Amino acid sequence: MGIFVIGRVNDINITLKQAYELFLLEKESNCSEKTVKNYKNDIRYFIEWITKDRDLNCHEIYIDTIDLIDIKRYVVMLRKRPKLLNHHMQPTENKPITSTTIRTYSRHIKVFFNFLYQEEYMEKEIMKRFKMIKEERKAIVPLSADEVKSIDNVYNSKTKSGLRNLCIMHLMLDEGLRVSEVVRLRICDFMYDKNLLFIRASKGNKERYVTLSPNVKRMLYKYLILYRAITDEQLSDLNRYEEDALLLGVRENKPITQNVIKQLFARLKSKVKISRLKPHLLRHTFATSYILGGGDISSLRLLLGHSDIKVTEKYLHMSNTLFLTAGKDNIYRLDKVYFKRYYDTFST
């Protein structure tokens, strides 16, 4: 009997469970924790479906028995699957999951099986002829100036919770940060003397600097002085706080998490009655306001931390949507620190 050598198709036939573990080990070595978690969950959905479909355990299903027909049948099932099915926190909704979600699941399955083929754990390249479901293109309407004002009015800047929440909102609105970037901010990232924010370990493990707007600088200064016991003398040398999170919970002095912000927006949404409100909409608003203020796409790509300028270019269309829906007098305006022309387009 010959020795089985991993990596040679003719010598091995691994199970679905083994393939899943091998894939996750690979991704854990070069992807962020959030990305690995998404892969883990989305591929697990496929494994749960196919094991139920075949009435077998995942260690009884061999990879080379799976083909393109299985993937297509899985996508058909997804198109009929109710939204939030078996969600641990929210009830199932009586409507199908979106095309965008199906595309995400499908893309992760494609990455999984392409990995198995490229590493020669599979003989067949089953995803070569797989066609992704068409992307759902919904119009995204950024926040108007009046809507931002209604959000600001919810919070009292003279209280610890109110000021912290305003800091969270305007780090996304006036600096264009992602939720994950807000929660990862350290005190030392607040470069007070240089009017900069340092964004660490962003999407794709990239780092960048963003201009610190006067409004955000004032709020962060006030928060650190009043509620983090930072003195004026210490502001010039914050490197000693390299391990200290910038924003903390109100009751417990623990770093805020993405879940904290998610819950914050759930409460806020019911108060301001903006049905489309979600954290990423604030980043969208920053980007579209930047374009309308005269900012260029290349600079915006750097501010947002995008690798591909095609991702940034979508804001050209969104800025036009904002202009048409809000009108020039109701556009949320970023601080002039970002611009040379500063909305001169609308002053004529």
- Lowest-confidence range among 78-87, 277-286, 306-315? 78-87
Q: How distant, in Å, are the alpha carbons of 161, 171, 218, 231 from that of 337?
A: 28, 15, 14, 26
Q: What are the structure tokens assigned to 139, written together?
A: 């119009």
pLDDT of 218 strictly over 80: yes
pLDDT of 216 strictly over 90: yes
Q: Are 318 and 308 in contact (CB under 8 A)?
A: no
Give mean pLDDT, residues 218-236. Answer: 91
Q: What is the 3-state secondary structure (H, E, C) of the chain?
A: CCCCCCCCHHHCCCEHHHHHHHHHHHHHHHCCHHHHHHHHHHHHHHHHHHHHHHCCCCCCCEHHHCCHHHHHHHHHHHHHCEECCCCCCCCCEEEECCHHHHHHHHHHHHHHHHHHHHCCCCCCCCCCCCCCCCCCCCCCCCCEHHHHHHHHCCCCCCCHHHHHHHHHHHHHHCCCCCHHHHHHCEHHHEEHHHCEEEECCCHHHCCEEEECCHHHHHHHHHHHHHHCCCCHHHHCCCHHHCCCECCECCCCCCECCHHHHHHHHHHHHHHHCCCCCCHHHHHHHHHHHHHHCCCCHHHHHHHHCCCCHHHHHHHHHHHHHHHHHHCHHHECCCCHHHCCCCCHHHCC
Q: d(Cα 275, Cα 269) in Å, to the nearest integer?
A: 7
The string over 200-224, giving b where at least 16 C-beta atoms fall within 10 Å of a residue's C-beta and e elsewhere, is eebbeeeeeebbbbebbbebbeebb
pLDDT of the residue at 321: 74
Give mean pLDDT, residues 68-97. Answer: 74
- Lowest-confidence range among 25-34, 268-277, 317-326? 317-326
Q: How distant, in Å, are the alpha carbons of 172, 274, 323 from that of 339?
A: 18, 29, 18
Residue-wise pLDDT for 124-168, tens only, equals 899 988 988 887 667 778 899 999 999 999 999 999 999 999 999
pLDDT of 11 strictly over 70: no
Identity of the residue numbered 189: D
* Locus of tokens 């759902």: 136
Q: d(Cα 98, Cα 81) in Å, to the nearest integer?
A: 10
Identity of the residue numbered 237: D
Selected residue with higher pLDDT from 211 and 95: 211
Residue-wise pLDDT for 170-197, tens only, equals 999 999 999 999 999 999 999 999 999 9
Q: How confident is the model at residue 316 (pLDDT cuts 50, 70, 90)?
A: confident
Percent of the chain with pLDDT over 90: 56
**Is 101 exposed, middle or buried, given 0-12, 13-18 or 19+ CB atoms closer than 10 A?**
middle
Residue-wise pLDDT for 275-289, tens only, equals 999 999 999 999 999
Q: d(Cα 116, Cα 120) in Å, to the nearest integer?
A: 6
Is the pTM higher than 0.75? The answer reads: no
pLDDT of the residue at 204: 63
* Locus of tokens 């050598």: 5
Q: How confident is the model at residue 340 (pLDDT cuts 50, 70, 90)?
A: low
Give mean pLDDT, residues 69-87. Answer: 81
Q: What are the structure tokens assigned to 286, written together?
A: 């920053």
pLDDT of the residue at 294: 85
Selected residue with higher pLDDT from 256 and 250: 256
- Pick the closest to residue 182 from 253, 104, 262 (CA basis): 262
pLDDT of 202 strictly over 90: no
Q: d(Cα 200, Cα 212) in Å, to the nearest integer?
A: 15
Candidates 1.25.40.320, 1.10.1270.20, 1.10.3720.10, 1.10.443.10; CATH matching 145-346: 1.10.443.10
The CATH code of domain 9-118 reads: 1.10.150.130
Q: How confident is the model at residue 205 (pLDDT cuts 50, 70, 90)?
A: low
* Domain ranges for the chain: 9-118, 145-346
Q: How confident is the model at residue 94 (pLDDT cuts 50, 70, 90)?
A: low
Q: What interhelical angle do 297-304 and 279-292 show, nearest 10?
A: 150
Give mean pLDDT, residues 56-67. Answer: 91
**Is 300 exposed, middle or buried, given 0-12, 13-18 or 19+ CB atoms closer than 10 A?**
buried
Q: How confident is the model at residue 293 (pLDDT cuts 50, 70, 90)?
A: confident
